[in-house]
Structure 1
């Protein structure tokens, strides 16, 4: 197998890992105003992802770095053509990270409320725009003979890409609800479980529509089988939430996200960014790749360090595996400026 194919597959794994782990982070942030009825409950929700959210974002950094090193022309075209939506995602992630750190710096209701809005927006915006971005990558964009994007911002807001955005938004929100039902105890666990069962319905409908559209638009690729398995996994997640089997529901929702990501990459291969102007202008794993020497060095580095990273992150989740309840959250002093 050629190293270009190997690294295309590794990048798919990195994005799948990012969406799997950061997906429930986004879901928790989106559900913050729905499940968090008061400051103590919102602190509980934030604490469920507090030890892991920044580590989950490492997958995004590695995915971007691997793309830059392995397929520099893909990276250049992607970040220049999608500059505005990617900048919006970056700003949202920065604001969200700052909000996690600054929310508890003052015992003032308005202060905490503003940072809560930042957490909600910083979770919702990337959850939506990542789907829009990947929808455009799979669908294809206006690339000229020099592999430069010649379309406009509103060209990216086509129906297929917007449906992709709704798909990631609903899947991540469901994934977050299932995670909270698995991670919390007491009344919060019950409320999160009931909400996850409700969220499963639109997630199944929207994701099934997007996967079906993808399969119809790309009938000659191997992504159909993975799309079908992903759809079955999502149905399994919906059933498990109804039965209140949080562990199985989380496995199924996570499998849905991973399989759907792999399905998009398999559908895309051997292109990395198709051109809708002329297929000859498309970027592929061959014409967008670095030199064989660069790919070879990267492979040895990945072989050496990837197991270390995986073991460390797995250890982190093991250490913080226990359920949290409101009783674990200290009662804070009365918030200044709080009404009602």
Structure 2
């Protein structure tokens, strides 16, 4: 009799575990289906509005020597049929073991060696040989490798901001801005939609020029990161990635983006550390063949980059 009761309890426990596993499986399958639906909704929302080049580029990068995943982020200034130079050059690092997020902005007028093309401004590497040549240029000059690349159509930035922050992103605009940005910004603390925020990060027609623009880009990246707390749940992430996907040419797959994005959004602290290259005191303005360039101390900047990434 006792053995029968024991067997009955055993069978009951087994059925209970089967039910739990079935429920977990259904929840998992439902989450995947919902995420895929949201992703496709985002893609459909943006499809037809993107002008990004769809060519798949060869890219032979690797993880850096510190175990981080580095992404070469490029915004291009293509006009008509001319080959595009890089308008914005950044390396974003995600370090899964340390849980850190870092961003390096490279001034586009730095005068460096471009493999196979002699010396030129660093942004010319994109026009000469696509993201792979720019990767090689960073590797040769700074011993910095990148595993992935993302070429971004700035219009995608507008759509992403408007989808993620319907009320806009709070920014303290330091001065009146209007020249060559398509909008007019008045000074003061305010909420900017995607179009006006893009104008803010692209403005450079003042005394500090490109240095001010890079500083504003990093400021906005930090603000957007901190204000992601306004998202109540990570369930919105698949749609956000879907919204921006048509505007990005990248060798990252959707799974990579979801993994990094989920990890970032789910953290209590979303601090993004930033660095500008060249760092202060390591460059001077020069004119070479009639062009204004930044002549830099390579060794000092290389050391600053590696100190920044290794911490």
TM-score range, shorter chain: under 0.3
Greater relative contact order (CA < 8 Å, ≥ 6 in sequence)? 1
Q: Flag the structure with higher strand content.
A: 2
Greater C-alpha Rg = 2
Q: Flag the structure with higher helix content.
A: 1
TM-score using structure 2 length = 0.27
